[in-house]
Amino acid sequence: MQLSYICKAIKLRAIGKKPSQLTLPCTKLSSISEFLLLALADTRQLQLLHFWLLLGIYLAALLGNGFISTAVACHHRLHSPMYFFLLNLALLDLGCISTTLPKAMANALWDTRDISYSGCAAQVFFLLFFFGAEYSLLTIMSYDRYVAICKPLHYGTLFGSRACATMAAAAWATGLLYSLLHTANTFSMSFCLSNVVDQFFCEVAQILKLSCSDSDYLRETGIIYFSFCLASGCFVFIVVSYVQIFRAGLRMPSEQGRHKAFSTCLPHLAVVSLFVSTVMFAYLKPPSISSRSLDLVLSFIYSVVPPTLNPLIYSIRNRELKDALRNHRIILNAPHCLVG
């Protein structure tokens, strides 16, 4: 009877109906000690292949973001507002990819699916924290580029050392508040006697499908819609900033000036586009094309691809960053980091 209820509840949630229409009472979250994540493969050979693939991606992300963090911190020429925000972005990317991939690699290596209740809560908290902070930081970075191109005379005043530190702290604090709100609400829900999460990490959207309480479901949905409105406001701000940047760049008399302006803005625009497009497609895709395999691929793309590619995007045509990365003294002279 309970198994039948679970199946009916999950099916009702999948088609947009409420599992509370059933009569069997829900199990509270406190009675669940672990969750079962989605396996990346069915055969042992594919599991090991996925492990080595994920390990390679993880090491690439660690090296890329680690090199950028070290270069910005230890190279005197990179002690500027733009690179200070880039340092924060690299740290957030490190945190983001370190929240999901290590557990996925461990499950693939040891042929397991379980994650503890506290581990799942930690994944949700840190993933939302890093994503919220990163999106806030990308919004601030667009304003930084806007002031640098459109109002260069005010740049030194608006982006002094204290102002930059305050803006970065505000981005991290925004991510913290956003994460606390979602995590606290998500893990106060009642579940429909199921602990199976159809994702390779604990994702709020998948956990929400397990809820059998109308009030819990509606409350979390309301928070998600409110967050979407705030994110849309940030997106509009970014778009307007870049419209002004391109208008100002096209009015520059010299080709060299236009090239310099666009070369400093295009990497950030590429990072924003990659971040926003992957998240939007993952969560705003039509329900008619939704499937377990597609959700898995899209979640992998938005949680793994941006943190891995961001260092490459920022450094591929940045001569100052390349010179700093080639300079081995940034590691040997580590005590001099952030000095000068």
Q: What pLDDT is stored for residue 127 in this prediction?
A: 95
| Rounded (10°) angle between helices 161-186 and 81-110 | 30
Task: Flag the least confident range among 14-23, 44-53, 241-250, 292-301.
Answer: 14-23
| Full DSSP string of 123-186 | HHHHHHHHHHHHHHHHHHHHHHHHHHHH-GGGHHHHT-HHHHHHHHHHHHHHHHHHHHHHHHHH
pLDDT score of 161 more than 70:
yes
pLDDT for 199 equals 87
DSSP secondary structure string for all residues of 34-53: EEEPPPS-SSHHHHHHHHHH
Pick 37-336's CATH classification: 1.20.1070.10, 2.60.40.10, 1.10.8.60, 1.10.150.120: 1.20.1070.10
Quick one: tokens of 68? 């950028």
The per-residue pLDDT of the chain, averaged, comes to 82
Q: Where are the domains of the chain?
A: 37-336
Distance CA 36, CA 114 (A): 4
Q: Which two tokens stand for residue 315?
A: 């450094």
Q: For residue 16, what pLDDT is reported?
A: 47
Structure tokens at 296: 């898995």
Beta bridge partners of 110: none
Q: Quick check: 331 pLDDT over 60? A: no
Give the angle 47-48-53 at the CA atoms, nearest 5°. Answer: 95
How large is the C-alpha radius of gyration of the chain? Answer: 22
CA distances to 9, 14, 39, 103, 128 from 119, rounded to whole Å, are 25, 26, 17, 9, 14
With CA atoms as reference, report the closest residue to 211 among 227, 181, 178, 188: 188
Task: Note the pLDDT of residue 337.
Answer: 57
| pLDDT tens, residue by residue, 81-116 | 999 999 999 999 999 999 999 999 999 999 888 999
